[in-house]
A and B are shown apart, each in its own frame.
Chain A
Amino acid sequence: DAKTTQPNSMESNEEEPVHLPCNHSTISGTDYIHWYRQLPSQGPEYVIHGLTSNVNNRMASLAIAEDRKSSTLILHRATLRDAAVYYCIGNFNKFYFGSGTKLNVKP
């Protein structure tokens, strides 16, 4: 099963960029890499997803390694509202979540 590995926590200053890494070395060739984030006592919300190419949307950018064994979620200018737990998922069949990265944003 394509399970993922992420750092437990990261810290950023407000208005600065944040790079959140994820290792998914066993991902299958057809699985998209999805990122979600979760605020306390809420369900996760979608952030971004991609297959091979880098992706951008209004929330973030996703940089995918050429070998697809890792990816990086990029928040270009972190705000206090971005403080959350960020999860990457590499197995769409079972939709496994790892333990995620808790992002703390300092004012």
Chain B
Amino acid sequence: DGGITQSPKYLFRKEGQNVTLSCEQNLNHDAMYWYRQDPGQGLRLIYYSQIVNDFQKGDIAEGYSVSREKKESFPLTVTSAQKNPTAFYLCASTPTDRNTEAFFGQGTRLTVV
């Protein structure tokens, strides 16, 4: 079955360490997105990529980095420069055809201690 997979589901890291969240899709979607969600809040766009080897900053890109070397994969690195990294992170993918639904992963809950 096609889908989008985020791993791990829960992640704990010490303050000051970089950490990479995985997002993989086998839907052949061109575009992929990363969002951050804080408790009781909506989704805020971190980065997005509409094609391989290209990506754009969203509203809250500071302290994060991404790569898009393969169509299927869009990993997100939370760097030590991100001042408050504890949050729920969601990945999504969409096809180029706007008349089609987007798919979301089940999220990674990152806790920095």
Contact = CB atoms under 8 A, between A and B. Distances in A.
B106 A46 contact: no
Chain A: interface size category: 20 to 34
Contacts of A41: 88, 107, 109
A97 B98 contact: no
Chain B: interface size category: 20 to 34
B98 A44 contact: no
A96 B44 CA distance: 8
A98 interface: yes
A97 B48 contact: no
Residue in A36, A41, A96 whose Cβ sees the most chain B Cβ within 10 Å: A96
Given A45-B104, A85-B42, A87-B43, 14 more contacts: A36-B104, A42-B107, A43-B90, A43-B92, A46-B102, A51-B99, A92-B98, A95-B33, A95-B92, A95-B94, A96-B45, A97-B35, A97-B45, A100-B42
